[in-house]
Every structure is written in C-alpha cells, then in structure tokens.
Structure 1
C-alpha cells in the first residue's frame, strides 16, 4: 500500500506515514490535504522533526519511466511509493511532423518566393529533439517534485553499464566478458520487449521462452538481434534447423508478422540511449548523491527475487539495495500520464494549411483552468448527480466536463476543484 506524504507547517518534508495514520490526523483536525496526486497532507501544529532517509529509484524508458521510493527498515528495504510515468514523445513528434508538412505545403505553392529556412539555424551543445527533451523534463520534474514531498537522501538510476566483471577479475578480456553471471541479460531483455514476451510462432504467454534463430546457424544465420526471436520449447524443437519459410508454409500471416518484426526499427532503444546522459545531467542539478546502474543488473535483481515484470518494480530493483527489496502486499503504482500544459498553436488548420478556427480563447476563467480535476454536483437535468473529471474552460459560463464514461457541459457554480492542472493526468 502506498504511503502518504507528510509536510510540516513550513512545507518541509517529513517521513511518509501510513494511510491509517493520515486518516486519524485528518479526522482529528491536526492535518489538512494539500495535494491529491500524489496524496499529501500538511500538519497544522508541527515544525521540523527527525526523518528517515529515502532513496529515489528511476528506470527511464522510451514510453514509460518507473519511479520508486525505497526506505531502509529493520527487516530490509521496502517500497513506500511507486509510480509509472507515461511520456508524450510520440504525440509531440506527430504534432511537429504535422506542422512541418503544413509549412512545406504553403511554401511550395505558386506564391512569392520564400527562401528555405533549414540552413540558417544553429543548435546549442547537447541539443535534443523536443520529443526526447520532454522525456528528460518529465523525469527531472517528478524527481524535483518528490524531493519537495519526501526526505530523499540519494538517487539511483538505471542508465550506465558498469564493468562489474573487471572489478572481480582484472585479468578478464575478450570473449570472457560473455561468460559472467549477467551474460546475455541485456540481449534477452531487448528481445522480451520487442516480441511482447510471447512465442513468435504460436503466441504462447506466461511460459518459459528461448532465444531462437530465425535463420538457423547451420544455414548461415548470425547471432545479430535482427535474426533472433523468442520461441517456446515445443515450437523451437519442432522448427529445428528448418528455414522459417518452410516451417510456417501453412501459416503465411504468422510468417509475414515475424519477417516484419525482424525489420522493426530500434527507435525506442535509440531514444533511451540518446536521453541516458541527459537525464543523469538533469538529476545532478538536484544536488543529491546519484549512482548509475545497468539494466542487466536490474533484471538480475528482479528475477532473483521472482518479482513480475513492471516498470515500477524494475525501478525498485535498481542499484545495490534492489537485490533485497521488499514490496508491500497488493501495492499498486500511481499511473501518471504526461499531457502537456496546453498548446502554443493559435488556431487549427485545414488540410490545405489555412486557418479553420478563430483565435485561441482563454484557458482560465472564474478560478478554474483547462485541465483541472473537479467534482461536479449537478442538481437537475439529464446529467444530475455527482461527477468527477477534467474540465475545458470556455469564454462563456459553460465548461466542458470529461469523465470516464461521458462528456457534457456544466456551469462553474456546480464545480469544486480537486486537483489543479499541472501537465499530467492521474
């Protein structure tokens, strides 16, 4: 179960408490809710106090980053908070591609001459594309936010591969690197993610999977990742040394899917590699001790403790303390999705690149802002009752409320703010 963050009356972080303790403080009037996501209370009559250090662990990914707060207790390290942060790099890339297409189409028409603008721009050192920079900013933003809510003492990040085998054996060299305890972990983890942890031939899940050569080595196949897939033991033995075209002659759809999967680009791996050092550089600005660990070590810690695959569990298993970390029974991670803070686009375009809407309207009105999570109490009408969702502010006193199952208009006098818009959905 997730712990509740606690602040003193000067908004300084204290040690997180249990939900039962938080409820008791709220009922007794000794605390008040200051933030809903993540849930945080502030004490009314306490300043300062002794705290227990907490370690922030991060497992950065191309689409989702795992976040875990681990605290040392008498019976070992335990996860007191977990979250999964979903990035919006794909939506940013799509928006930029659409804008680029509209601008190029306008410049290619029979209008006055416009000089090309792609040769007169410079980029600063360490520049990253906006779709990648957003990942760095999201991780840094949440690390900084958790630092304000919890007494974090140090940070552990899964990013850099340390040469641990050379530490144990200074004479190791060449192919001997492939014979260590973590041999093959990096490649197997990549294949598991690429093929969705299922057999490529029969689609079996939750069974032991083996690395399988699509073009057998006996027929000249290589050990490159582009020639490897996952297979269950029966399919692997049945295929043997036959060519994949011969083995799947009666299943052309499966054959086509495998051949397409082998050519799948490594853009996710490239995104992680490109942002690896940028995330580390951004986290160093928090002025906390920081250590970097390899993905192979993380998986070794997780599989050694027989934990299921999840981003937040991978984050908990990062680092030295991840070898013996304890998960709370029934613990569920907070789901965080980056949504952005509005759009800079002043109006929408049609397919020809001309404006099709008016100028951008206000985003804040009557104390509410677009993206706020609110509670609505509608007294009558078709949507009478209590609802919770996000609002979109308009220039008139009728806001658009979006809940899990419906969308309708509601007057602001029926709304109560629960959580102010901060660029994320929960």
Structure 2
C-alpha cells in the first residue's frame, strides 16, 4: 500500500507512514499537510530516536513515460509509485513554431540578408531541448523524492534498443552491416517483397503494368509529405495507383470501405495489411538510447549508491513474480537488488504530467504569420498564477459547494476552475504551480495505464 511521506520539525525525511496513521496525526493536530502531491505531512513535535529504514528509488526511463517506484528492499513493499509523462513532443512542436515565426519575420524585414549558418558553437554535451527536458524531469523528481523520503540508493534501467532487430527480428551476424536493399535495386526489391503482384489488389484489377507507388504521397492534399525511403514504397498496378492518386492512405481507406464494389473491398483489406507492414517508428527507442548514459552520469553526481540494470533483468523479475505490465511496475522490478516478492496491493499511482513553467515568450499570429496578440508580461494576478491548485468554497449559485482543482488566471477577478469561472475571493491556495499536473489512480489498473479509476486527483 502506498505510504504517506513524513518530515520532522526540521524538514528531514522520516520513514513513511500508513495513510490511517497520517489521518490520525492530522486530526489530533500533531501534524500538518506540507505538500499535496506527493502527499507529505510535517510533524509539529520533535520525535526522539525516530526509526529510519533505508529505501531504494527505482527508475525505468522512457521516451514518453518514466516509471518511478520507492521500494523497501527488506520487505518488498512499494512505498511510492509514480508515472512521469514527458512533454518532449510539445517542446519540439513549439520550437518549430518559433522557428517559422522568426524565419517569416526575417524574410519580411531583411529579405536580402545573406544566409548565416555555422555561426553558433554548441557546448560539449549539448542536447536538444526535447531530450534535455526528459532528463530534467527525471532529475527533478529524484531530488523531490529524496527530499521527502530517506532514499539511500538508486537503481536505473539502462536499456539499449537494437533498432535493426526491431525492424527485422531474425537479423544476425554480418546482416547488421547490410541494409534493407543490399543486393537489390529498389524496384526489384519491391517486386520480390510483394510477389510480383499489386500490393493493393493482388492482380485482381487485370492490369499487368506494375509501378513503384508512395504509400504516403510526396504531394498529398493534406498533411505532411511522404519520403522516398523504401519503407514508404510499394509496388502497385497502374489502375490502383491512379485510383489512389495523391490521397493519404487513411483517406483512401475511408473511401474504399464506404464503397460496395468487391474490388474496392479487396483493396481496403490489402491496404490495411500494407499499413501494418510499414516500418514502425523508432523515434522513442532512439530517444532512450540517446539519454541513457547522460541520465546515468547525472544520477551518479548525487553521490548515492547507483545500480545499473538491463531491460532483460526487469522483464525476468516481472515475469517470475507474475506481475502485469506497467511503467511503475517495471520500475519496481528493475535491478538485481529486487526482492523475491513485491507487494503491489492497494498501491495508488501518482500520474505526473509535465506542463512546463510558461517561460517561453508567446504571441499569436494571423493566418499570414503576423503577430496580433502577446501574452501579458505578468504571470501572477492577485497572488495566483495559472497552474495553482486551489480549493474554491462557493456559498451559492449554480456551482455552490467545495471544488478542488487547477486554475487558469485572467488579469481580471475571474479565474477559470475546472469548467466554470470563479472569483478569487472564494479561493484558498493548496499548492503553488510547479510545472506539473497530477492525477491519482488505483494501481490495480496497471493493465490500462492512464485511466482514472475515480480516485481523487487534479487533472
């Protein structure tokens, strides 16, 4: 069962306690709430010779979600479980938007400026902001958990993904040095791959002329263009190629599925198979391969005993104990130090979603790219800022009652809370914005992470 973090009167971490005991301490006035997420209490009276057992923090790094678990090696009890959702994709998208705005502005104001490049030197160990954000998120939460819990050692999974084996599970030996098109021309490779038949109709259109066709067109009507990589190419007859035209595969699939023609139904069936055969994205595996040793180096600077483990060891431990697949369970099973049995009963998982601190300068543009609106310089208003967790006590009206959630401020006395507006005079601050959103869910939903099981939380 998840425990409650406890601090002494000098804000030093003590052994986490049972939620029932924490409830009694709060009710008797012997403790106060120090932090809501993760829930932490601080004692009001000094304890002589407090019991402190060493606990281990385990980390399962991921591209989108990182699993966190605090485990008692002596008892196998999971003290804390969390899943940290990263925002690397959002950062990449915002940087692309900023780059577009800057390029448009330079073209408008300095159209004849010579292009400049290679005029910025990157520091040693530089990482793209989207990757640096992932590492910073993990380090932030490692330091937070150490602040509230007596962590004496850390275990981190250092998994390395074999990108070629992901594409071709049977690869071995010298095949690693030979690309997909080794010994082939592209057309010959596609003809052999699809058995000299159209990938869409399997020769049922009656057309014997076969052409190289882009699954995602190079000039589609909507969305990003396709590439000339072999994973985006198929062999198709002239009839199917003309029927598809410059439609994206999902658009053509919708058209085929709505048709009553037997040939179109056959095309839809084969198109689904083609889409399943396309190369799976390896971006997430590449991210983990890139940051794993940098994260290990940063964790080593914390000067705690650090254990490195493999993904194979994690899976072996989890399968041996018959535990379901989840990010926080993988974290708890990481490393050779894992106890023979891990108790995950009644564990409440804290889902942590990185939202950023709103430090980026923001402006809105019209459809031509010209700035039309800027965000206000001041981030706070009447002592509140967007992302603060508050309690609203509304005495009357349609939304009368007590509501808890995150607010979005406006520079007028009307803040947005959940789905309605509320005046600041009805608010009481529970926890200041720290760049993350929180949600609690029962650990029994491990097989379907991200589902809110009705546990209280702030979305």
Using structure 1 for the length normalisation, give the TM-score: 0.76
| Pairing partner for 1:301 from 307, 314, 317 | 317
Task: Determine if contact 2:361/2:375 at 8 Å carries over to the other structure.
Answer: no
Unaligned runs of 5+ in 1: 162-185, 195-210, 228-240
Structure 2 CA distance for aligned equivalents of residues 243 and 9 of structure 1: 75
The aligned runs of 1:18-417 (5 Å cut-off) are: 18-47=18-47, 49-73=50-74, 76-109=75-108, 111-159=110-158, 250=266, 251-260=269-278, 262=279, 264-322=280-338, 324-401=340-417, 403=418, 406=419, 408-417=420-429
Once superposed, what is the RMSD of the aligned Cα atoms? 3.0
User: Could you say which residue in structure 2 is the equivalent of 1:10?
Assistant: 10
TM-superposition CA deviations, 1:73-125 (whole Å, max 9, x none): 3xx42211100000000000000011112222233347453343432111111
More off after superposition, 341-350 vs 149-158: 341-350
Task: Determine if contact 2:199/2:274 at 8 Å carries over to the other structure.
Answer: no
Residues 383 and 24 of structure 1: is their aligned pair in 2 closer, same or farther, counting only changes over 3 Å? closer
Structure 2 CA distance for aligned equivalents of residues 89 and 346 of structure 1: 18
Task: Determine if contact 1:362/1:393 at 8 Å carries over to the other structure.
Answer: no
Secondary structure at the aligned position of 1:319 is classed as coil
Shift of 1:245: 7.9
Structure 2 CA distance for aligned equivalents of residues 124 and 291 of structure 1: 29
Structure 2 CA distance for aligned equivalents of residues 414 and 110 of structure 1: 49
TM-superposition CA deviations, 1:123-150 (whole Å, max 9, x none): 1111000000000000000000100101
Residues 381 and 27 of structure 1: is their aligned pair in 2 closer, same or farther, counting only changes over 3 Å? closer
Structure 2 CA distance for aligned equivalents of residues 124 and 106 of structure 1: 28
Rg: which structure is higher?
A: 2
Secondary structure at the aligned position of 1:146 is classed as helix
Structure 1 CA distance for aligned equivalents of residues 307 and 169 of structure 2: 35
TM-superposition CA deviations, 1:309-352 (whole Å, max 9, x none): 10000000111132524123132311000000113214323333
Task: Determine if contact 1:301/1:323 at 8 Å carries over to the other structure.
Answer: no
Residues 367 and 108 of structure 1: is their aligned pair in 2 closer, same or farther, counting only changes over 3 Å? closer
Shift of 1:43: 0.7
Using structure 2 for the length normalisation, give the TM-score: 0.71
